Amino acid sequence: MDGRHGPAASQARSGSERDELWRRVRLIERWIGQAASAEALAWFRQALDSVARDDNVGVLMRALALAPRRLGKADLPLDAEDFRLAHEVRTGFDPTGMTVDQAARVVFLLASYRDPTTFGRTLDALTRTADLGELVSYYRGLALFPVSDDVTRRAAAGARSSMKPVFEAVAHRSPYPREAFDENTWNQMVLKALFIGSELSPIYGLNARANPNLSAMLVDYAYERWAARRSVSVELWRGLGTYVDDRALAALERLLQSGDPHEKSAAALALGASGHRRARELLVGHPQDPVPLG
C-alpha cells in the first residue's frame, strides 16, 4: 500500500476507474468493428470521441438516439474468444444476445462517465423517458457500469419491472445484481423471475447469493402453487442452496416421489447440495445427474 490519502488518493482511484472503464469501451468498440460497415463504423467512432470529449448531455443524447439507425440492430457476431474477453474485463459479464445498437448505447454511456453522481443522474433521466428498446440497452449496460448507490437504485427499479425484456436485461448475464443488491432486493428479484416466467439459470451468482430467507420464500411459493394446483418450475429448487430445512425437505421428498423425471432430478440435485442430515438417506436410488429439459 502506498499510504496516500485525501485528494491524491482520490485522483489515483479515479484514474484507475477511468482506465478500467476504457478497457470495457475498447472491448465493445472491437465488437462493433466486427459487425458494422466502414461507413457506420466511422460514424460510431466519431460519435464516441465526441461523447468522451464533450460534457454537453445533448451530444450523448444524439449519439444514443442515432445508434439503431446508423448501426442497425443485428446481434453482435461473437465467438468463444469474445466471451472469454468479456469475462476477463468484467467477471460475470455475458454478452449473449446483445445487439449492435445496444452495445453502442452502452459504450456511449461508458464514455460519458465523469463521476458517480452525474452518471447516476444521467442514467436515471434516460430510463425515465426511454422506450422499451432503449430501456433494455441501458439495463444491459449495468453489467459494465461502475457500481454506485444511484445506479443500484435504478437497477432495483428495473428488477421490479413486469416487462420481461426489461427485467431480464437487469437480472440475466450480469454481475451487477450479485455485487450491488442487498439481500431483500436480491431475493425479490429471484422470486420475480418465477412470477413472470423468466429463467433462473442466467442469473449470475444464484448459488453464491443463496440465503435462508430466500429459501423460505421459494418453498412458500412452491406450496402456494401446489395448493392452487399449478405447476412449479424445476429451476426453483436451485435457489435453495444449502439452506434446506424440514419444510423444504418435505417438498423435495414430494418431488422425488413424482413421476416427472425433471422434478426428480431437480430434487436430487437440491438435496445433494443441501447437506441436510436426511438428504443422503432420501437420495438412495436417485441419481444427481441433471435431466435435460425439453
Our CA dihedral for 25, 26, 28, 32, rounded to 10 degrees, sits at: 130
**Which segments in the chain show pLDDT lower than 70?**
1-15, 285-294
How do residues 116-138 score in pLDDT, each as one tens digit? Answer: 999 999 999 999 999 999 999 99
Cα–Cα distance for residue pair 255/249, rounded to 1 Å: 10
Cell 466471451 belongs to which residue? Answer: 83
Q: What pLDDT shows up at residue 158? A: 97
Cα–Cα distance for residue pair 71/149, rounded to 1 Å: 32
How do residues 170-199 score in pLDDT, each as one tens digit? Answer: 999 999 999 999 999 999 999 999 999 999
| Opening angle at CA 249, ends 247 and 252, nearest 5 | 115
